[in-house]
Structure 1
Amino acid sequence: MDFKQLRYFHEIARLGSFTRAAETLYVAQPAVSVAIRKLEAELELTLFHRHDRKVTLTDEGARLLPHAQRILQAVSDAQLEMQELKGLTQGKVRVGIPGMLGSYYFPPILMAFRHRHPNLSLQVVEGGTWQLQQMLESGELDLAVIVRDFVPPELEARTFQREEMRVVVAQDHRFAQQACISLSDFFSEELVMFRPGYFHRKIIDRLAEEAGVTPNIGFETNLLPLIKSIIKQGFGISTLLSMVVKEDADLIDLPFAQPVWLDLCIAWRREGYLSRANRAFVDFLLEQNPA
């Protein structure tokens, strides 16, 4: 079993195709097929079910896949660290950010970081908490913003900001003049929610479970402008970070009777190598909101 075989195996498993894997790897398709046949012969196991148009893992292949992922990631980390020891002056930061924060909190942070480190490139991916966590664990991202409550033991994390989730209603809504909103009142209304997988939705699902109710979700969308428009027109209410509505005069934001606070973290793989570029980004982010 060698590195090339594992790399080919991983790409076939990821893409479900020998042909597409060969295209991604920039090698001839027969070379990929030969490498996998040799790997299967060496292991005395069949790793793939070969169908007419799709390739799927056998049970044995599924057991090998996480080992291959860890080995490939370890080699990538080693290559990166060795490059930096040679005095690498440029680098890339691949960071995942939830949409709500990507639209309102991070734009000035990202621009200021680029101003301080003009030789570093930034690749920003927007997604839900679960998607970003999976991409981080698989090595597709170097860093990701995750709510402290949802950080798994496989990740290292540092808190950089505390934000309050607020109930958001239209100016003429019956809640608009109240000082705060109870969970029972909130869940009595038709709600406009992010889709499952986003921290916004995970928080609401958890609150509903604690209150013993089923949320009445009338709209599901990850588009913030649409959420705000639906609320303004009186077709539902929602809960958003205060930063999202603080400059919108047509919306009223109110605290829950028992305030809901979120500790926002920058996270990375606990066992992974954090490059100098990524360490610079983490340090810069923590500088913006010192404890």
Structure 2
Amino acid sequence: MEFRTLRAFVEVVRQGGFSSAAKVVFATQSTVSKAVKQLEHEIGLPLLDRLGHRVTLTAAGEIVYRRALRLLAERDDLTAELAELRGLKRGTLRLGLPPIGSGVLFAPLVAVYRQRHPEIEIRLVEHGSERLNELLEAGDIDFAGLLAPIAQEFAQQAVRSEPLMALLAPGHPLAGRDTLRLGDLRDTPFILFESGFTLNRIILEACRRDGFEPTVVARSSQIDFIAGLAGAGLGVAFLPRMIATQRTQVPISLVLLDAPGTEWSMAMAWRRGAYLSPAGDAWLALLRETWSEVS
């Protein structure tokens, strides 16, 4: 059963005859007649009583006519919804963003996207990179802000790379240095983020390469609290330079970390080869427009 034959049948009933229906569907009277006969053949029952130039519905015809109206209306609704998707008048963009750096890197981009596509619903989730990696792999989000290295099953758009800075209390013996190595901090307690933050792994693996396991005295998911603890002398914390330089609420010393392999490299990732909705395609286009020169 095809929509074309249903449409012809409905118009014959609406217009009261084949010739008038043919004009509405832009076909010949013969074509409309064949379409109705094909429909009757498929159903196995007559749908119309043909009395001269007039037609009336049989009992089967009344049922088919009522159902056909619903099917054609659903078809029209489906076409309209798909057109709205293509025109970005509806849809959902599911973004996974990390707590570190999103305010600087992604908040302005989300605002631009919203301004361009106000009908798109933006669903945001915030987790550390490890959890975002899991959500992206499972298809629960469309894009995720992840730290390098990024798994091969994901495509990516590089966003920004920053060195890490050590956050120390002004009175710390190393606070006046221009740069320091992780080995210089082996006797200083570490303040890290909660589990699930890739930045922790980057720091701890670099310490092990330098031959020591740091003492971790506190963990938190709040950047300001971590900075406050470091400024109060509890230990040393680490943040990307662009984030660390904004921590001016408390007296604190920032020292550039000279440790290969500890760069904070953020990228926006998505599943390689996966279907992207029109809303996702528009986000990807904005990513590339914004960071096309980032390698």
TM-score by length of 2: 0.65
In the alignment, structure 1 residue 288 sits paired with structure 2 residue 290: yes
Distance 1:177 1:84 in 2: 61
Indicate the residue corresponding to 2:258 in structure 1.
257
- CA-atom RMSD, angstroms? 2.2
Q: How do 1:198-209 and structure 2 match up within 5 A?
A: 198-209=197-208
Indicate the residue corresponding to 2:269 in structure 1.
267
Give ranges in structure 2 of 5+ residues lacking alignment: 1-77
Distance 2:167 2:227 in 1: 9
Aligned-partner SS, 1:94: strand
Residues 280, 87 of structure 1: alpha-carbon distance in 2 compared, 3 angstrom cutoff: closer
Cα deviation for residue 88 of structure 1 reads 5.0
Aligned-partner SS, 2:94: strand
Cα deviation for residue 156 of structure 1 reads 1.3
Indicate the residue corresponding to 1:222 in structure 2.
221
Indicate the residue corresponding to 2:132 in structure 1.
132
AA at the equivalent of 2:279: A
Distance 1:255 1:286 in 2: 30
Distance 1:169 1:84 in 2: 56
AA at the equivalent of 2:268: I
Residues 167, 286 of structure 1: alpha-carbon distance in 2 compared, 3 angstrom cutoff: farther
Q: How do 1:233-248 and structure 2 match up within 5 A?
A: 233-248=232-247
Residues 171, 105 of structure 1: alpha-carbon distance in 2 compared, 3 angstrom cutoff: farther
AA at the equivalent of 2:255: L
Cα deviation for residue 233 of structure 1 reads 0.8
Distance 1:248 1:158 in 2: 28
Give ranges in structure 1 of 5+ residues lacking alignment: 1-78
TM-score by length of 1: 0.66
Indicate the residue corresponding to 2:144 in structure 1.
144
Identity %: 23
Deviations 1:204-229 (A, max 9, x none): 12212212211210001111121011
Q: Is the 8 A contact 1:105 1:243 kept in 2?
A: no
Runs of 4+ in 1 over 4 A off after TM superposition: none
Cα deviation for residue 86 of structure 1 reads 7.0
Distance 1:169 1:92 in 2: 43
Deviations 1:114-166 (A, max 9, x none): 122222221111101111011111111010011121x1122111212112221
Aligned-partner SS, 1:188: coil
Distance 1:258 1:208 in 2: 9
Distance 2:85 2:279 in 1: 15
AA at the equivalent of 1:198: F
Distance 2:134 2:111 in 1: 26
Q: How do 1:45-124 and structure 2 match up within 5 A?
A: 83=82, 87=86, 89=88, 90-124=90-124
Indicate the residue corresponding to 1:190 in structure 2.
189
Indicate the residue corresponding to 2:64 in structure 1.
none
Distance 1:171 1:111 in 2: 37
